[in-house]
Structure 1
Amino acid sequence: MSARVVAFVAKSNTGKTTLLEKVIQELEKRGYRIGAIKHDAHSFDIDHPGKDSHRLAAAGAATMLITSPEKLALIKKHARTPPLEELVETYFSDVDIVLTEGFKRSSLPKIEVHRRERSPTLLCRGEEHDPTLLAVASDEPLDLDVPVLDINNPVQVADFVVERIIRADQ
């Protein structure tokens, strides 16, 4: 993969989306172009019955793209989830970094989001030791072999992403 990618992983309802929103805003403020991919283990629908785009897809279009002067949306039917590497190469060549939410079983470098009230254990340093873990953003001090960042300090998390991911090979 040519694009830089980091996965934010956590158990459900830990605050991944909230932290990612703030990190994206901080990185964008610094002039970086950011892509985001959200993993959804369930079926989702961004199109709505009655809309022209929905009608075209329902008629049998395997790929349906709707575009306007400001944005576009692509609906592509597939038999299996495409590999993340393929998605990044195909859709994110124009960004500095791709931040994903989820993909905890991937081989991507990861930042785990941890809240003491949600769970006493970590995904990447629990029963399994994930060698791709770069850091943990937590609301409590932890004794780990990777940096522990303050979950309530998105500037610190953004600094880490810039230093360890965006500028890593520069």
Structure 2
Amino acid sequence: MSVLLLLILANGPTASFTFEDGFVIARVTKDGRPAGVCQIKVYNGTSSPPLVEGETEGGVGTFPLGGKAGLVGITIDGKECDLIPLQVTGKEISPSRVLLTFGSRPCCIVAKKEKETPIPTDQTNEYLTYGILAGSVMLIVSISMAMMRGGNAKRIKSTD
């Protein structure tokens, strides 16, 4: 069963990407051959209008990405594939090759950006200072009260 699934997936349309001189070169194939004329749309975000729209010639198209990352939609046989997130790092682009999917949207899920956790400051010294200060005040008050009561205190006689 898995071999059959692999053969079906292997024959699906694919796109490969390279990055040269600031432009993305896309090669779209279907059944192992160039896909012919396909429409390509490049987006800056999922809800924005396309930055670039155009067609491939012989399954090959060249386009700017509009930054270091973007989403690419490829329409083949009248159906637009799920958006493909592309990321440029130096002279490399990833992913370099994808299987085009239609309607399953595996490429569109973007991980939420993690919230930055504040770096804890060392408050031990601050708490220690306040603790020593409070303890000192309590000690002074206790000694003062003991001294005031000391003059009025009655001595207990021993019964020896």
Q: Does the alignment reach a TM-score above 0.5?
A: no
Query: Which structure dedicates a bigger proportion of its chain to strand?
Result: 2
Higher relative contact order (CA closer than 8 Å, sequence separation 6+): 1
The structure with more radius of gyration: 2
TM-score (norm 1): 0.22
